[in-house]
Amino acid sequence: MTEPRRHVLIWVAPEFLKSSGMIQLFTEASIFLPPQNDLDEYIRSAEAAGGFAMTGSLAEANHGAGIWISPVNVPGLELMIPWHLVKSVVTAESTQSSKAFGLMSELAQSGAAAKKQRGRQPQ
């Protein structure tokens, strides 16, 4: 059984955008669409902000060369961001509801039923 991938938000140094190959990859994969005829302004904005954010699913965090992420909207694609360009990483797991069972389940169901009945009574 495979472990579900965690969501990841990475703050990346602006130098990452200066590679024309990376811009081409991002554009073709629809990871982001740079502003028409204004890519230089986009890069200047990233430099002024100290970087830019990328998000996706965490593919591999323990690789020696960098962190691997998979864009949510591009199934099967994995990108490596070299560690020297990664400024920070935030991960989160999808929330999973707690399962109630036994007496707790009955209490939860009776509590929900009582709330519904109170909501139906005329005031």
- Is position 98 within any domain? no
pLDDT in tens, the chain (123 residues): 456 668 999 999 988 888 778 888 877 777 777 777 777 888 888 899 999 888 889 998 888 899 999 888 888 889 899 999 999 999 888 655 555 555 555 656 666 565 555 565 555
- Is position 85 within any domain? yes
Is the entire prediction scored with pTM above 0.75?
A: no
Identify the pLDDT of residue 49: 92
Asked whether 56 and 70 are in contact (CB, 8 A), the reply is yes
Identify the pLDDT of residue 110: 64
- Is position 76 within any domain? yes
Identify the pLDDT of residue 100: 54
User: Which run of H or of E encompasses 81?
Assistant: strand 79-82
Q: What's the CA gap between 45 and 17, in Å, rounded? A: 11
Q: What's the CA gap between 72 and 31, in Å, rounded? A: 9
- Is position 43 within any domain? yes
- Is position 119 within any domain? no
Domain count, the chain: 1
Residue 67: which domain range? 7-92
- Is position 77 within any domain? yes
Identify the pLDDT of residue 121: 59
Identify the pLDDT of residue 41: 84
- Is position 106 within any domain? no
Identify the pLDDT of residue 112: 56
- Is position 65 within any domain? yes
Identify the pLDDT of residue 1: 41
Identify the pLDDT of residue 73: 80
